C-alpha cells in the first residue's frame, strides 16, 4: 500500500474509537494503530451491558454498536497527535442510515479523515449495526466500493497525495459468497483487505458463561475460523495484494500462524486485553524470528 510499517503488529479497530489515546498507545510498541470505527455524527451505541468476557475461552463478546464521538472529533485528535507512527482511520455508517444510503456516510467520513491518516479502513463487517453486513453482498459491495474508490481518487488530487483504502470483512461466509466478494474487492481498485472482524458463530464456546449474549465473538476461538477465511483471501487475491490479518492472536505463535495464513501485517485486540502490552513485543519478536531470521 506504499506504507512502511516499523513492525508487523498493529492495534485493531474498536479499542480507541475516538483517537483519545493515540500518544499513549503509540508508546507500547505497535507498528500501527487503527482508530475508530467513527461515523459522520456522534452516537451512543447500544445500551449497557454490551461487552462480556468469556474467560474460560480467552474470548470477548461485544455489541458496542459504533459508540463514538463522530468523525470530526477523531480528526481533531489526529491533528493534535504527537505520535509519528502509522495510523489508520476506520469508518462506518450511522445506526439509523438505511443500507441503500450507506455510501453517503462512508463518503463523508472518507473525505474528513483522508488527509490525516496513513490508510482508511472501510468497515462493512461489524455484526452490531443492523444490516451492515448486507454491504458485503455483491450488488451493494460493488456499488459502495466504486463510490469510495472514485472519491478516494478525487481526494488524492485535492489533497496532493494518495491515502490507501482497505476493506474489513467478516469471518462468517459461505465459500461461494466469499469468493464472489473477493473478486469484487479485487476489481474495485481498493488497496487492501482486513480479514477478519468478529464472528457471530458460537460453535466454539457453546455452554460457556455469556455464550448466548448477542454480538461479535473475538479472541482465541476466532483464530482458526479467521485464518481459514484469510487463507482463502490470499488464494483468491494473489501474492501481492496487501492483507491485514486480525482475529484471535493471543500469543507470538498465533501471530506467526496468522502471517503463515497469508497476512502481511497482523492486528490485536482481545489478546491485548487479556495479556497486556507484552503481547505486542512477543508477536513482533516471534514474527521476526520466524521470517526475517532476526533474534
Ligand atoms: C470491544 C470490541 C470493540 C470492537 N470495535 C470495533 C470497531 O469499532 N470497528 C472494527 O472494525 N472492529 C471492531 N472490533 C473488532 C476488532 O477490531 C478485531 O477485528 C476483532 O476483535 C478480532 O481480533 P481479536 O480476536 O484480536 O480481538 C471490536 C472488537 C472488540 C472486542
Contact between residue 130 and residue 148 where contact means Cβ atoms under 8 Å apart? no
Residue-wise pLDDT tens digits, 58-72: 999 999 999 999 999
Atom in ligand 1 nearest the alpha carbon of residue 60: 31
Q: Is the pLDDT of residue 198 over 70?
A: yes
**Which one of 63, 123, 197, 227 would you pick to mutate in the ligand 1 pocket, going by the greatest count of ligand atoms within 8 A of its CB?**
197
Output the pTM of the full model.
0.98
Q: What is the mean pLDDT of residues 101-115?
A: 98
Residue-wise pLDDT tens digits, 150-188: 999 999 999 999 999 999 999 999 999 999 999 999 999
How many angstroms separate the CA atoms of 141 and 124, rounded? 9
The three grid cell numbers given for residue 202, joined into one nine-digit string: 458460537
The three grid cell numbers given for residue 102, joined into one nine-digit string: 450507506
Superfamily of segment(s) 9-292: Aldolase class I (3.20.20.70)
Long-range pairs for 142-150: beta carbons < 8 A, 24 or more residues apart: 142/184, 142/188, 143/103, 144/102, 144/103, 144/106, 145/184, 145/185, 145/188, 145/189, 145/190, 146/188, 147/103, 147/106, 147/107, 148/103, 148/106, 148/107, 148/110, 148/122, 148/190, 149/188, 149/189, 149/190
Q: Is the pLDDT of residue 132 over 70?
A: yes
16 CA to centre of own chain: 12
| CA pseudo-torsion sign 23, 28, 33, 34 | negative
pLDDT reported for residue 293 = 58
Please give the positions annotated as active site: 126
Residue 198 Cα to ligand 1 midpoint, Å, equals 6
Percentage of the chain exceeding pLDDT 90: 97
Q: For all residues of the chain together, what is the average pLDDT?
A: 97
Q: What is the mean pLDDT of residues 95-111?
A: 97
Residue-wise pLDDT tens digits, 20-39: 999 999 999 999 999 999 99
Amino acid at each position: 500500500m506504499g506504507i512502511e510499517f516499523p513492525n508487523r503488529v498493529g492495534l485493531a479497530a474498536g479499542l480507541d474509537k475516538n483517537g483519545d489515546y493515540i500518544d499513549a498507545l503509540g508508546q507500547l510498541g505497535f507498528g500501527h494503530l487503527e482508530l475508530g470505527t467513527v461515523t459522520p455524527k456522534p452516537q451512543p451505541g447500544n445500551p449497557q451491558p454490551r461487552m462480556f468476557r468469556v474467560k474460560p475461552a480467552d474470548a470477548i463478546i461485544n455489541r458496542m454498536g459504533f459508540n463514538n464521538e463522530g468523525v470530526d472529533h477523531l480528526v481533531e485528535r489526529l491533528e493534535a497527535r504527537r505520535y509519528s507512527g502509522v495510523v489508520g482511520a476506520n469508518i462506518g455508517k450511522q445506526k439509523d442510515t438505511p443500507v441503500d444510503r450507506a455510501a453517503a456516510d462512508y463518503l463523508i467520513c472518507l473525505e474528513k479523515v483522508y488527509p490525516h491518516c496513513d490508510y482508511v479502513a472501510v468497515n462493512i463487517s461489524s455484526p452490531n449495526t443492523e444490516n451492515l453486513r448486507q454491504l458485503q453482498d455483491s450488488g451493494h459491495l460493488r456499488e459502495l466500493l466504486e463510490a469510495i474508490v472514485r472519491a478516494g481518487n478525487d481526494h488524492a488530487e485535492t489533497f496532493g497525495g494518495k491515502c490507501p483504502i482497505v476493506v474489513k470483512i467478516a469471518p462468517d461466509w459461505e465459500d461461494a459468497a466469499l469468493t464472489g466478494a473477493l473478486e469484487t474487492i479485487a476489481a474495485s481498485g481498493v488497496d487492501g483487505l482486513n480479514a477478519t472482524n468478529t464472528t457471530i458463530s458460537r460453535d466454539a464456546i457453546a455452554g460457556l458463561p455469556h455464550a448466548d449474549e448477542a454480538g461479535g465473538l473475538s479472541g482465541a476461538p476466532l483464530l482458526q475460523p479467521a485464518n481459514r477465511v484469510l487463507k482463502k483471501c490470499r488464494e483468491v487475491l494473489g501474492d501481492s495484494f496487501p492483507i491485514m490479518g486480525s482475529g484471535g492472536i493471543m500469543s507470538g505463535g498465533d501471530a506467526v500462524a496468522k502471517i503463515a495464513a497469508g497476512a502481511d501485517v497482523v492486528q490485536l485486540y482481545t489478546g491485548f486485553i487479556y495479556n497486556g502490552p507484552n503481547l505486542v513485543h512477543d508477536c513482533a519478536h516471534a514474527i521476526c524470528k520466524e521470517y526475517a531470521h532476526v533474534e
